[in-house]
Amino acid sequence: MTTPKNTVLHEITPLSESDCLYVIERKKADFNYPIHTHKEFEINYIENAKGAERVVGDSIEEIGDYELVMISNENLEHGWRNHHLVPGNIREVTIQFSGDWLSDKLLGKDQFSSINNMLKNGNKGLCFSLSSILKIRSLINSLTCEEKGFYSVITFLSLLYEMSLATDTRTLSSSCFANADTNVLSRRIRLVDDYIKKNYMRDLTLREVAELANMSEGAFSRFFSQHTGRSFTEYLIDIRIGMVTRMLIDSNKTVAEICFECGYNNISNFNRIFKKKKGRTPHEFREMYCKKKTIV
């Protein structure tokens, strides 16, 4: 058994069992909190931090002047780093809430269907566009000023609903890295997805998975692209890279060992694909998580 190389910090948040949500507004010059996880769901709104770097699972991106991200996965690593940030007057509003009181029964109601879908997508981290942020931020500002707990919950539900109406959001982490649920996929696509995840380490062909779906190669290729937004080859690469990033963080295996275990037989080609997908080499990606962290 391989001993994990890194232990990502697990945060114990201030949210008590008797409260629905916890809201905190901070003014700060830079980011100094490490990459972490916590069991509570979280919405993070940031102003004036252009050039900082957002890490959500295996997604690493430089942010702009406005940032809004929602995470509804207690095991998804996330954090913000200084990167190219010029220290200044950063405003950060963090909203943490438990998924317990937003029960499946409540989220199953028609009026909550869009919120339910958003929370499912938040398993991989959900990023909002600038246009959506500008529509939503007044509710965030109202929430920071609300003194009465009941009305803060009402404002928060309004915020969730308005966020769920945004049509230009995008997920951040790969499904494999985030261990995100694939139940939202069609039955046939789920069958293929499960098969790929069990066999990604060997040479998989379009013909093989098309036969699994009981379709011709051409029909399956069109069907798969329509339902996933990616070709079979692109999907397989994303599955493999998701497995690679998880192994880079959770194991002491060498990059070469991980390369061959995840279905690549050429280290140079593997490094090229990884850098194209993640913007850095596997060694650089691993280095980001290399500091030992403990529970706080």
Rounded to 10 degrees, the C-alpha dihedral 156/160/162/167 comes to 160
Rounded to 10 degrees, the C-alpha dihedral 15/164/191/244 comes to -60
170 and 197 co-located in one domain: no
87 and 197 co-located in one domain: no
102 and 190 co-located in one domain: no
148 and 254 co-located in one domain: no
Output the pLDDT for position 181: 58
203 and 161 co-located in one domain: no
Considering the domain boundaries, does residue 78 fall inside one? Answer: yes
102 and 198 co-located in one domain: no
Considering the domain boundaries, does residue 166 fall inside one? Answer: yes
Output the pLDDT for position 34: 87
Give the model confidence (pLDDT) of 138-167 as tens digits: 999 999 998 888 999 999 999 999 999 999
Output the pLDDT for position 61: 92
Average the pLDDT over 65-88 and give the result: 93
Output the pLDDT for position 193: 86
255 and 214 co-located in one domain: yes
Q: Is 9 within 8 Å of 35 (Cβ atoms)?
A: yes
Residue 12 confidence class, pLDDT cut points 50, 70, 90: confident
Residue 186 confidence class, pLDDT cut points 50, 70, 90: low
Pairwise CA distance, residues 176 & 243, whole Å: 6
208 and 170 co-located in one domain: no
The boundaries of the domain holding residue 32 are 9-175
SS3 (DSSP) at 96: strand
Give the model confidence (pLDDT) of 51-72 as tens digits: 999 999 989 999 999 999 999 9
Output the pLDDT for position 118: 94
Please provide the average confidence, as pLDDT, over all residues in the chain: 88
Task: Say if residue 255's pLDDT is above 80.
Answer: yes
The domain that contains 279 carries what CATH number? 1.10.10.60
Q: List Cβ neighbours of 27 (8 Å cut-off, separation of 6 or more).
A: 89, 90, 91, 92
Q: List Cβ neighbours of 175 (8 Å cut-off, separation of 6 or more).
A: 124, 182, 238, 239, 242
Last residue of a domain, one of 160, 175, 190: 175
Residue 90 confidence class, pLDDT cut points 50, 70, 90: very high
16 and 155 co-located in one domain: yes
136 and 26 co-located in one domain: yes
Residue 187 confidence class, pLDDT cut points 50, 70, 90: confident
Task: Say if residue 192's pLDDT is above 90.
Answer: no
Residue 178 confidence class, pLDDT cut points 50, 70, 90: confident
Residue 185 confidence class, pLDDT cut points 50, 70, 90: low
30 and 58 co-located in one domain: yes
Task: Say if residue 74's pLDDT is above 70.
Answer: yes
The domain that contains 111 carries what CATH number? 2.60.120.10
The size of the chain, in residues, is 296
Considering the domain boundaries, does residue 2 fall inside one? Answer: no
SS3 (DSSP) at 13: coil
Task: Say if residue 199's pLDDT is above 60.
Answer: yes
Last residue of a domain, one of 175, 209, 228: 175
Number of compact structural domains in the chain: 2
Last residue of a domain, one of 175, 201, 221: 175
Output the pLDDT for position 6: 52
